[in-house]
């Protein structure tokens, strides 16, 4: 998860992606459902044991900062279904609602949409041909090329 990496490792490519949004170079769109998932993930005892930096205070501050520079979508319509991983649907549906150019992720199922021959992926590419699925490193390179 990009947000986990950004919160746990301030020097990571995921953190740099958030800094691009914070500085206004790119727009970060987020939904209430995704914010709730981020809070849940960053509060998991197993992750906190591995990453002691993820204290309650850091998580609250991190989420507050992210909310402060993000465009927040409250009611995102469920337009797309991704049968192979339903947990990814909020990200896809947010990207559609926001008319996003990029969906930045490290999630294999989402990244596979860009080239997979399965019917779900083909349908998503046909319906939203401008949406690019990319990982943080490739996204940063793309933004650097356009600046």
Residue 16 binned pLDDT confidence (cut-offs 50, 70, 90) = very high
pLDDT tens string 28-70: 999 999 999 999 999 999 999 999 999 999 999 999 999 999 9
Full domain range(s) for residue 79: 2-146
The stretch 104-127 carries a mean pLDDT of 89
- Give this prediction's pTM: 0.90
Residue 12, SS3 per DSSP: coil
Number of residues written out for the chain: 147
- CATH of residue 71: 3.40.50
Which two structure tokens, joined as six digits, stand for 37?
Answer: 């998932």
131 pLDDT exceeds 90?
yes
79-86, long-range: CB within 8 Å, 24+ apart, which pairs?
A: 80/124, 80/127, 81/120, 82/109, 82/120, 82/124, 83/120, 84/109, 84/118, 84/120, 85/109
């Amino acid at each position: 998860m990009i947000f986990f990496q950004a919160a746990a490792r301030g020097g990571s490519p995921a953190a740099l992606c958030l800094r691009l949004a914070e500085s206004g170079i790119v727009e970060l769109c987020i939904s209430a459902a995704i914010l709730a998932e981020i809070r849940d993930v960053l509060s998991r005892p197993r992750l906190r044991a591995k990453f002691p930096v993820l204290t309650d205070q850091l998580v609250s501050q991190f989420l507050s900062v992210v909310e402060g520079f993000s465009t927040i979508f409250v009611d995102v319509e469920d337009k797309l279904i991704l049968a192979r991983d339903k947990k990814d649907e909020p990200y896809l549906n947010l990207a559609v609602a926001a008319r996003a150019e990029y969906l930045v992720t490290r999630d294999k199922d989402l990244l596979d949409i860009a080239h997979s021959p399965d019917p779900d992926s083909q349908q998503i590419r046909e319906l939203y041909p401008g949406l690019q699925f990319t990982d943080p490193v490739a996204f940063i390179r793309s933004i650097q090329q356009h600046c």
